[in-house]
Amino acid sequence: MQYSMKYIFGFAAALCLICSVLISVANVGLRDRQEINKQLDKKKSVLQAACLIQAGEKTNRARIESLFENIRARVIDLSAGRVLDDVDSARFNEEDIPEQPAPANKAGIRTLRNQMLIYEVMDGDRISMFVLPIVGKGLWSTMYGFLALDADTKTIRGLTYYDQGETPGLGGEVTNPKWTALWPGRVAYDENWHPAITVVKGSAGSVEEAPHEVDGLSGATITSRSVMEMLRFWLGDDGFGPFLKQYRESGQA
């Protein structure tokens, strides 16, 4: 049977229209679910940074939510270094906070928001760990992750990246559990509370041998350096330094 050009184009246009309507409906209809999954994914990364779940471990929503019951989300004023008790962390959306130009830094961070969401892992009434969001430029991508710090505010308890676009097998090894396992126990600051964590080229040795150093990723010196620079930025005076200092000086550390 021969179809006219008008029929063929009409049919194709109608098919496109039906498909785009279906995709739009699915997109709108699943938006809530996407948001829930996004939040769940973030919680999972926080738990991974805190080593409360292992990378690659099979988890479900119930387990994540149950582990999260011991985690308190807090909104802090970055420059003042204090918790904003009057801001409800459950309703906090960092996108609502205006971005300001960041001070000069080596982490490729151009803008900052003065209010940020952090997490406190609780052991009863006391804080056992902080989980802090970190972001910075890698070789190809902006890398997003979490750093878990002990309540002594200097001992690293874990590091995880949940969003990065470095080359798989090279910079992308920042998510390799063998590499992230090298971080717990390393000491983030020197004795004068200056960020001292260093990602070295090659092998750093054990925590006892090199408390401030971590092995670089082979063939990915640039990404390794980016990790170091972003950690130093976020641990420093323009990042969470003032908040951690205030916590230490409050006598709770």
Ligand X SMILES: Cc1cc2nc3c(=O)[nH]c(=O)nc-3n(C[C@H](O)[C@H](O)[C@H](O)COP(=O)(O)O)c2cc1C
Kindly give, in sequence order, each residue whose CB lies less than 8 Å from that of residue 239, ignoring residues fewer than 6 positions away: 78, 233
One residue of 221, 238, 246, 253 binding ligand X per CB under 6 A: 221
Part in contact with ligand X (CB under 6 A); list of ranges 82-90, 103-111, 192-200, 212-220: 212-220
CA 33 to chain centre: 21
171 binds ligand X (CB under 6 A): yes
The one among 170, 200, 210, 253 contacting ligand X by CB under 6 A: 170
Query: Binding string to ligand X for residues 1 to 40, with x set by CB under 6 A, is what?
Result: ----------------------------------------
Rule CB under 6 A: choose which of 102, 139, 200, 210 binds ligand X. 139
Q: Interface with ligand X includes 115 (CB under 6 A)?
A: no
Q: Note whether 186 and 214 are within 8 A (CB).
A: yes
Cα 175 to Cα 219: distance, rounded to the nearest angstrom: 15
Output 109 or 227, the one with its CB closest to ligand X.
227
Retrieve residue 127's tokens: 């804080």
For residue 142, state whether it binds ligand X (rule: CB under 6 A).
no
Cβ 161 to ligand X shortest distance, Å? 12
Q: Which stretch binds ligand X (CB under 6 A): 13-21, 116-124, 148-156, 217-225?
A: 217-225
Stretches 124-132, 145-153, 220-228, 236-244: which one binds ligand X (CB under 6 A)? Answer: 220-228
Q: Is 195 helix (H, G, I), strand (E, B) or coil?
A: strand
**Minimum CB distance to ligand X, residue 12 (Å):** 39
3-state secondary structure of 11: helix
Residue 213 identity (one-letter amino acid): E
The letter for the amino acid at 23 is I
Whether the Cβ atoms of residue 235 and residue 133 lie closer than 8 Å to each other? no
Q: How many chain residues interact with ligand X (CB under 6 A)?
A: 12
- Which residue in 10, 103, 205, 219 binds ligand X (CB under 6 A)? 219
Which stretch of DSSP H or E encloses residue 9?
Answer: helix 5-29
Cβ nearer to ligand X, comparing 221 with 246:
221
- Going from the C-alpha of 13 to that of each of 3, 9, 20, 25, 32, the distances in angstroms are 15, 6, 11, 18, 30
Q: Is 84 in the site for ligand X (CB under 6 A)?
A: no
Instruction: Name 142's bridge partners.
Output: 137
- CA-nearest of 172, 182, 178 to 145 is 172
Strand 71-77 to 82-83 pairing: antiparallel
The answer to whether residue 223 forms part of the interface with ligand X (CB under 6 A) is yes
Under the rule (CB under 6 A), what is the footprint of ligand X? 139-140, 166-167, 170-171, 218-223
